[in-house]
Amino acid sequence: MRFPALSTLLLLLMSIASPSHAATVESMTWGKTVAGEEVKLFTLRHANGMEAKITNWGGYIVSLKVADKNGKFDDVVLGFDSLDGYLAKNPFFGCITGRYANRIGGAKFKIDGVEHKVTPNSGKNHIHGGKLGFNKKVWAAKEIADGVELSYTSPDGEEGFPGTLKCTVTYTLTKDNGLQIDYQATTDKPTVLNLTNHAYFNLAGEGSGDILSHILTIPSEQITATDDELITTGEIVSIKGTPLDFTTPHTIGERIGADFKPLIQGIGYDHNYVLSYSKGQKIAAVVKEPASGRVMTVVTTEPGVQLYTGNHLKEVNGKGGHVYKARHGFCLETQHYPDSPNKPEFPSVILRPGETFQSTTIYQFSAE
């Protein structure tokens, strides 16, 4: 698989820049939280058969059905059949991750010289929004053309983060088989923000085994270096010619077991790839599953993408009685860089009053 030519990329970006208004949206009551809050499940269905199911509990992508080269539809995201699986502790299967996705070293940072301490929930560090992050909230929800809009107001001090944050996340189906996620947020005090979705993909279909034969391309020759706790050091390092280099296509499994320190640290791939700093849309990754012919192209406005190969999945009872094990799914989490609040040399994650945070990521599907 060759990486698409520039002209092809431009056509792709133009074609998926806006929804097509061709999908139907249905909703149903899916259950209640332990606190008795009602939870909804929204089904987004495209005329061509593509289907996404989204819940307003944590904004989880519950299901995503896309066609293979023979027109057969399979669910390509890991998850659970019922709300109970998402209410229980789980590996962030397809949720909105925030206020701060990925890691904050030492669970603290400074804004304008003032130190803020956030919840440490990964040893001494903070990860994915804390103990009660955005994945454990009931979001207000409303149906819109081709999708669903989720809204949540995070109060000042929640998980230690300053400022009342008003956040909106919109899921829509595009005309060309894409799931588009738009993030928007405002604050009344200076704060830090890093939002992503933590979907685990298996393009052969969830429950079909490992993802090691998937062919991956990432147009980046750099990552943010990390220490043994996977906290960024502040260095941006070249990976050209190493087992982390996916500028030319490689299967995920080809070099995952290499005797290479970054892979040993992450027990596989768990690395932030540096993309263009430009705010426009750019290709973050292209993945192909050879047997089904499914291809997923990830487009984002974010400056980084975290490749995670499900290294820590352990006997998770998922959909249809399937048991998910290590490397049965992969994540491509579009994001600002980990620990950016403590690394002023990285692109800023500070959001101030009067500013609006905006970000878009599209998971675009085709088959060949």
Indicate which CATH number applies to the domain containing 340: 2.70.98.10
Of 367, 172, 190, give the one whose Cα is nearest residue 288.
Answer: 367
pLDDT at 279: 76
The whole-number average pLDDT for the span 322-330 is: 98
Residues listed for the chain: 368
Residue 193 placed within a domain: yes
The tens digit of pLDDT for each residue in 174-183 reads 999 999 999 9
Residue 126 in contact with residue 20, Cβ under 8 Å? no
Would you say residue 231 has pLDDT above 90? Answer: yes
Rounded to a whole number of angstroms, the CA Rg of the chain reads 19
Would you say residue 21 has pLDDT above 80? Answer: no
Would you say residue 169 has pLDDT above 90? Answer: yes
Does the active-site annotation cover 322?
no
Backbone angles phi, psi at 9, to 5 degrees: -60, -40
Q: Which of 158, 206, 333, 336 is catalytic?
A: 333
Q: For 78-237, where are the alpha helices, taking DSSP H only?
A: 83-87
Would you say residue 3 has pLDDT above 60? Answer: no
The whole-number average pLDDT for the span 201-218 is: 99
> Lowest mean pLDDT: which of 3-12, 112-121, 318-327?
3-12
Report the number of distinct structural domains present in the chain.
Answer: 1
Residue 1 placed within a domain: no
CA distance 260 to 271: 13
pLDDT at 277: 78
HSE at residue 149, side-chain half, CA atoms within 13 A, is 8
Residue 244 placed within a domain: yes
Would you say residue 218 has pLDDT above 80? Answer: yes
Residue 24's identity, in one-letter code, is: T
CA distance 137 to 128: 13
Q: Give percent above pLDDT 90 in the chain.
A: 93
Residue 181 in contact with residue 147, Cβ under 8 Å? no
Does the active-site annotation cover 26?
no
Residue 296's identity, in one-letter code, is: M
Would you say residue 345 has pLDDT above 60? Answer: yes
Would you say residue 263 has pLDDT above 80? Answer: yes
CA distance 181 to 128: 18
Enclosing domain of residue 76: 6-367
Q: Which of 46, 116, 126, 198 is catalytic?
A: 198
The whole-number average pLDDT for the span 170-196 is: 98
pLDDT at 2: 44
The whole-number average pLDDT for the span 201-228 is: 98
CA distance 151 to 185: 10
Q: What angle (nearest 5°) sits at the alpha carbon of residue 264, between those of residues 263 and 267?
A: 80
